Structure 1
Amino acid sequence: LLYLFHAFCLLDIFCKKKETKIILILSGNYRWRKLTVRTDNSESETAYPSVSQNSWPYQRYGHTVVEYNGKAYLWGGRNDEFGACSKMYCFDPEAVTWSVVPSEGEAPPARDGHSAVVVDDLMFMFGGFEEDSQRFSQETFAYNFKQRKWYELKTTGELPQWRDFHTACVINKKMYIFGGRSDLHGAFHSSRDYYSDVLKVLNLKTGRWEDPKVTGDCPCGRRSHSACKFFFFLKIYRVRNNKMYIFGGYLGTENRHLNELHEFDPATSCWRRLKPFGTGPSPRRRQCVVVVGERVFLFGGTMPSNSKKMDPVHSGLCDLSDLHVLDYAPTLKDLAANAVIKNRLNERFSDLIPDDLK
């Protein structure tokens, strides 16, 4: 099952404090279903205490969502009216409830555009744009789920540039940071955007930042792109994959949206541009990506609008609601379903096509 958090879109611009909706997609038959979600008012030891209406996260962008022990944890993000948020929210898919997660320690300032990954019982958060200080961040924080405690990670080596809307992936206890928006003048925004194409790696065992010497077809700098780690082992082909993939994003210095797919192999430190079969997504940014088994699901995002009627407040962008699937090991049934969709066979041969292919 896939869960989509309806966070914030251009059509919600006049209703910014609506609660976050949950929409469920069944990954087997690609059917959407909206969930009715409640807050958790239970007093049991395992439940997090709710805080009246604040147990629901309001709609936002630039937040992160990670999975830990079968639950989703949402932190940070902002909207233009209420600013950034520093609360941690937990969504329990079994109970279908939201709750506020209590925490202690040195919590990071409220921000958006940061990244977050989970290793064992720790969530590592890097970068973003801090609300109170109005500055880009280059610090790394960790949250211990068992202790419910934040602390700032003291790292060594050359720090990455201050940035927001980058991506992070963990492979073999190393966190790979790519892209994001920086400023030529440092931590504070001066409208002199800079988009780095340098890959930075934080060794989570030693706490040291590393600079791998990369080769190959490197992606250009960008922000608001997607990154995912993909691991699988195909016995029939004896292929083992444990690599990072980068898709899409926006290069502000050229006002260009992207839709290239790049692969990075940590074993060889080599980049490679991929050109999968099929019709890929259009150029876009702010999409979400998740890996399920041997498939990568990509949903939504924003792209430039060709409509001359677009309200100036929307900055010439339009929201997308399309779903794309990148399949690394398609079955014959998958290929047949794709042919049905591509050739609109369901419109002409509805009585002959099995229900699970319609």
Structure 2
Amino acid sequence: MVSSVDWAWEKLDTSPAWVSEEVRQGGNVSLPFKRYGHSVVVYQDKVYLWGGRNDQSVCNTLFCFDPRTRRWSVPDLKSQSTKPPACDGHSACVIGNMMYVFGGFEDSAQQFSQELYAYDFDENAWRYIRTSTEILPPQRDFHSAVAIGEDMYIFGGRSDESAPYYTGRDVYHPELYRFNTRLKEWTLVTPYHPRRKPVSPRGRRSLSAFEYNGNLYITCGYNGIEKKHYNDFFMFNVAGNYWVELKPKGSGPAPRRRMSSCVLDNRVFFFGGTSPRTRPDAGSESSEEEHGEVELRGLENHGDIFILDMFPTLRTRCMKAIIHHKLNYSEITWDVKGELKKMCSEKALEDAKGRCFKRGMMA
């Protein structure tokens, strides 16, 4: 866990002493095993983890973590609940009292999915969602899903020329789909702006996406056909129905995939990811196997944090000016000095040549 106040990490104790009785089965504690390709959402101050896999197995157990008590539990599902098959690379987002799970790669069928399920937090029950339109996003995994109002927006992900089956002939869809949870219908969004040159992000997987102020933002990701990692930044204006490419100020993340993002007030926290190795001793190598794709060489894992300030305050702008213009900061208060040190290294404060970006500002 990282603090949004001082940006310090704390390792949470999730040892058996913290686990609730509901998770204890036959004297053994059932905790979420180490995994990738899972989803995590927040509902009423609790964290819900579903899906994902490791090298041995795939999971479809729903886990709940309470940050206040630091206890894991497994919700008691209704017997009539239509549980999704175990998969990884799916997406999940919360709208109202429902968690919507879409797509992914189903382990039992060994195929990409385009199915939509919803978990009702109030009823503790899964539901299979039957849509009222013939439009469906193509089967895919490692895409993004973002909730905006009563709609879920799906972008990116990896499919296959022989979808739903995996043959290693990747397809990356650049289209944007919207699912209305009230009408239960899919729409293929056609961006258009009469006074803007058309622009849209390239298809990609393992991207980062979030909602801010009613709009959709995406960044980073990977396209296996182009063999390219991205660090571009796009916003989809929901009200105006058009894409725009943004150029945030500051030094942002290097091109990468699998980076997580979290919005807190007017800031977006980005953490981790993997990107092409830039030096022989950089990081540790990725060793995940994703449906036949073994990635062992040429990637480094990141443990850095980037903070994008979507609505920078005057205080933030002044601190950026101190660094950029090499201003004398010896007379400023200790608390501001502390923030400056978190924004970049001590050396950067001295010569303004450091590259330790901690907070970016929108252009």
- How much does 1:335 deviate? 3.5
Aligned position for 2:215: 243
Q: Which has the higher mean CA deviation after the structures are superposed, 95-104 or 56-65?
A: 95-104
Q: Do the aligned partners of 2:95 and 2:149 also contact (CA within 8 Å) in 1?
A: no
- 2:35 equivalent to 1:60: yes
Letter in 2 for 1:85: C
Q: Do the aligned partners of 2:132 and 2:185 also contact (CA within 8 Å) in 1?
A: yes
Aligned CA-pair RMSD? 2.4
- 2:167 equivalent to 1:190: yes
Aligned position for 2:149: 172
SS in 1 for 2:140: coil
SS in 2 for 1:306: coil
Counterparts in 2 of 1:330 and 1:54: CA distance versus 1, 3 Å:
same
TM-score, normalised by the number of residues in structure 2: 0.82
Q: Which has the higher mean CA deviation after the structures are superposed, 186-195 or 322-331?
A: 322-331
**Paired-residue identity, %:** 41
Taking the TM superposition and a 5 Å limit, the aligned residue runs for 1:252-331 are 252-308=224-280, 314-331=296-313
Gaps in structure 2 of 5+ consecutive residues? 193-197, 288-295, 342-363
Among candidates 325, 334, 337, match of residue 316 of structure 2:
334
Q: Do the aligned partners of 1:50 and 1:100 also contact (CA within 8 Å) in 2?
A: no
Q: Which has the higher mean CA deviation after the structures are superposed, 263-272 or 96-105?
A: 96-105
- 2:10 equivalent to 1:28: no
Letter in 2 for 1:67: V
Taking the TM superposition and a 5 Å limit, the aligned residue runs for 1:72-221 are 72-80=47-55, 82-104=56-78, 105-157=81-133, 158-215=135-192, 216-221=198-203
Gaps in structure 1 of 5+ consecutive residues? 1-23, 232-241
Letter in 2 for 1:196: H
- How much does 1:41 deviate? 5.3
Q: Distance in 2 between matches of 1:57 and 1:304?
A: 29
- How much does 1:55 deviate? 3.1
- How much does 1:30 deviate? 1.4
- How much does 1:342 deviate? 7.0
Counterparts in 2 of 1:38 and 1:308: CA distance versus 1, 3 Å:
closer
Letter in 1 for 2:66: D
TM-score, normalised by the number of residues in structure 1: 0.83
Q: Distance in 2 between matches of 1:317 and 1:152?
A: 38
Q: Distance in 1 between matches of 2:265 and 2:276?
A: 32
Q: Distance in 2 between matches of 1:331 and 1:53?
A: 50
Q: Distance in 2 between matches of 1:251 and 1:308?
A: 24
SS in 2 for 1:27: coil
